[in-house]
Amino acid sequence: MNKEKLVKSLRIVPDYPVKGIMFFDVTTLFKDPECYREIIDALYEEYKDKGITKVAGIESRGFIAGAALADRLGAGFVPIRKPGKLPAETLSETYQKEYGTDTIEIHTDAIGPDDVVLIHDDILATGGTAAAAFSLVRRSHPKAVYASFIIDIIDIPRTTPIPADVPVSALLQLGENS
């Protein structure tokens, strides 16, 4: 994987969505076919032998690589969405973000006890969204849970820790001043 190309292609937006936040915009990686292919290829290589049966992508940028990865792995795709976006019965989890609170939901029948689930999102920062997603997924008692991210922002304190028994990977580890 050409990490230098990925880093050079990444757009960093200061003070978005609020002042003081340095936003890592991965949409610039998705629009470049070489970068997008490298992301999917690297994620596939990491998880091809883990027995993944479902990839749970977190709204919204987690859908973009998550769905492509699910296809490549021969797994199902499960959307984890903001409230009111899923049409059937849901489980929900409210969590703290760097700049407020948010809630995510998953269909109650999306994951079963025989599933091996990979939770995917674009960025790991404080850990709030990821920890909420783990909480939702674990309510269905899958066999195993993994987590993948495109970027781990390593110099932001994890205010909500990811459970220690969940293997976590990130393609890039960057600081806010990268």
Of 174, 175, 170, nearest in space to 65 by CA: 170
Catalytic residue among 98, 138, 158, 176: 98
* Cα 9 → chain centroid: 19
User: Is 98 among the catalytic positions?
Assistant: yes
Cβ-proximal residues to 4 (8 Å cutoff; 6+ apart), any chain: none
User: Is 72 among the catalytic positions?
Assistant: no
Catalytic residue among 38, 61, 81, 93: 61
Task: Output the DSSP codes for 88-142.
Answer: S-EEEEEEEETTEEEEEEEETTS--TT-EEEEEEEEESSSHHHHHHHHHHHTT--
Amino acid at 41: D
Catalytic residues: 61, 98
